[in-house]
Amino acid sequence: MSPKVVFITGCSSGIGRALCEEFHQRGLRVIATARRLDSIADLQAKGIATHALDVQNTDQVSQVVDAVLKQEKSIDVLVNNAGYALIGPSIELSEAELLLQFKTNVFATLVLAQKIAPAMRERGRGLILNIGSISGIATTPFSGAYCASKAALHALSDALRMELSVFGIKVVTVQPGAIRTRFGESAKETVARVLKPASWYRSVEDAIISRAELSQVDATPAKEFAQKLVDSVMVEKPPPIIRIGKKSLILPLLKKLVPTNTLDGIFKKKFGLMQMKF
Which residues carry out catalysis? 146, 150
**Which one-letter DSSP state was computed for residue 138?**
S
**Cβ nearer to ligand NAP, comparing 123 with 182:** 182
Question: For ligand NAP, which residue of 5, 31, 34, 194 counts as binding (CB under 6 A)?
Answer: 34
Indicate the SS3 state at residue 2: coil
Indicate the SS3 state at residue 213: helix
Task: Give the span between the Cα atoms of 268 and 204, in whole angstroms.
Answer: 11
| Distances in whole angstroms, Cα of residue 195 to Cα of each of 14, 54, 92, 141, 277 | 26, 25, 8, 14, 17
- Sign of the CA dihedral running 39, 34, 244, 27: negative
* Footprint on residues 48-67 left by ligand NAP (CB under 6 A): 54-56
157 near ligand NAP, rule: CB under 6 A: no
In one-letter notation, the amino acid at residue 274 is: M
**Cβ nearer to ligand NAP, comparing 125 with 182:** 182
Task: Give the span between the Cα atoms of 245 and 93, in whole angstroms.
Answer: 29
* Footprint on residues 92-121 left by ligand NAP (CB under 6 A): 104
Question: For ligand NAP, which residue of 89, 126, 144, 176 counts as binding (CB under 6 A)?
Answer: 176
**Cβ nearer to ligand NAP, comparing 90 with 186:** 186
190 near ligand NAP, rule: CB under 6 A: no
173 near ligand NAP, rule: CB under 6 A: no
Instruction: State the DSSP H helix or E strand holding residue 272, giving kind and residue range, or none if neither.
Output: none
**Cβ nearer to ligand NAP, comparing 183 with 201:** 183
Angle between helices 183-194 and 95-102 (to 10 degrees): 160
Question: For ligand NAP, which residue of 61, 82, 156, 226 counts as binding (CB under 6 A)?
Answer: 82
Binding site for ligand NAP (CB under 6 A): 9-16, 34-36, 39, 54-56, 81-84, 104, 131, 133, 176, 178-179, 181-183, 186, 215, 219
